[in-house]
Amino acid sequence: MNNTKTTAISGCIIWFLLISVIASCVVPVFFFAGVLSSYSNFAIDITGGWLCPEGTTPRQNTYTSTTTDEFGNLEPATAYELQCVDADGVVVKTDPVFYSFLWIGVFAVLGLIVSAVLTFIFAVPGGMLVTKVLNSLRVKKPGQQGRV
């Protein structure tokens, strides 16, 4: 196998391994960060700018609600929703769920982008290492023992 084929094979191997390992670590961290920050006013302001009609202002509304625990008992909880308010203070639109899914999705995409960048950073040194290992493992033909 010549060096070009070895480099191509090692590049594919290292790319697959790196994207698998890096993305499986980075994307869940970004997803979790999106879940934790989806209740913030910053998330409401950003997603509200995308979801609210023009001429309205995004606002976070919290209210008391209930949730069910693992035994089926009702527990008190706080619910969050995005409200789009016009200049007169009238609520034009209410979004209890989609803004949060949108915010978490943005974080997941950021995690994929960071994973891709890290994969490109580590692909070259990793590819060189795999090529070196594959070259040292390949069988030398008789008469090539003195060559490098």
Q: Which two tokens stand for residue 129?
A: 């290492």
Question: pTM of this prediction?
Answer: 0.75
Domain that holds residue 18: 3-137
* Placement of tokens 């693992």 in the chain: 70
Q: Is residue 147 part of a domain?
A: no
Q: Is the pLDDT of residue 128 over 80?
A: no
pLDDT at 27: 94
pLDDT at 137: 78
Q: Is residue 142 part of a domain?
A: no
Q: Is the pLDDT of residue 18 over 90?
A: no
Domain tally, the chain:
1
Q: Is residue 143 part of a domain?
A: no
DSSP states of 49-115 as a string? HHHSPTT-EEEEEEEEEEEE-TTS-EEEEEEEEEEEE-TTS-EEEEESSHHHHHHHHHHHHHHHHHH
CA distance linking residue 127 with residue 130, whole number of Å: 5
Q: What is the pLDDT of residues 24-57, one digit of tens each?
A: 999 999 999 999 999 899 999 999 999 999 999 9
pLDDT at 139: 62
Q: What is the pLDDT of residues 75-88, one digit of tens each?
A: 999 999 999 999 99
Three-point CA angle 107, 43, 31, nearest 5°: 25
Residue 30's CB: how many other CB atoms inside 10 A? 20
